[in-house]
Amino acid sequence: MEISGSSAVVVGGTGGMGEATVRRLSAAGAHVVVADVNDEKGKALAEELGIRYLHTDASSEDDVAAAFAEAATLGPVRISVDVHGGPAAGGRLLNKEGQPHKLEDFRLTLESYLISPFNVTRLAAAAINKTEPIGDTGARGVIIQTASIAGFEGQIGQIAYGSAKGGIISMTLIAARDLSPAGIRVNTIAPGMINTPAYGQAGDQLEAHWGPQIPHPKRMGKPDEYARLAVSIAENDYLNGEVIRLDGAFRFPPR
């Protein structure tokens, strides 16, 4: 698929991996809409790159639909990347006092990391489906979701987050099959330890802790490595229904 001239929505586009993806897509010639809740950073990024920013709560049907509607005014909507964050609750199934994990905390985490991504995916599909297919291939576009290696081997205390990310992993092939008649591909990136600017000075401490544990290369990942993979997925028409780990062969230990 040709990125240049296509419209793309990046939900969570002001975060580390999101911003890197916005920059890569914009450099490739896409008309990008940054959809996020960090207005200050979003507006600054839009002004710098000559793109659009729209305040977007990923859990809101109206907000997400508006972001894709905005993208449609710029060109054919063919690319959706969802890398938004949100509140997440940690904790064991039973704490040291024998109290069970709070149900409301589990619900909160699933709302942020599974239900909201589903909301983005379904609305992205509806928007891309309105776009004319490319030539005689029937291809319309691609949806890229973001999981985590915690969805495969979550650590102790990650039962809520790991369940949410595991849900995205399970969603990928089903969504790809569901959307095949529409010519819409669905793929998921499952990052490992990515050192984003959000960590600030703590990023150095995380690098010192996690970097030596990564088999190769012995460092945390970079946001641009996520972005480069997202662009590659968008360009490769035969990549569909796949979950790609981006983790330097790292596997989470139990704790």
CB atoms within 10 A of CB 41: 16
Element (H, E) at 53: strand 52-55
CA dist 128 → 8, 135, 165, 186, 220 (Å): 10, 15, 24, 12, 34
CB 126 within 8 A of CB 71: no
Q: Which residues, in sequence order, are CB contacts of 122 under 8 Å at separation 6+?
A: none
Nearest-angstrom CA–CA distance, 218 and 166: 26
Q: Which of 27, 28, 24, 31 is nearest to 7 (CA)?
A: 31
Q: Which residues, in sequence order, are CB contacts of 86 under 8 Å at separation 6+?
A: 58, 111, 112, 113, 116
Q: Which of 29, 14, 139, 33 is nearest to 83 (CA)?
A: 14
Determine which one of 161, 199, 226, 238 is catalytic: 161
Active site residue 161: yes
What letter represents residue 80's amino acid?
Answer: S
Active site residues per annotation: 161
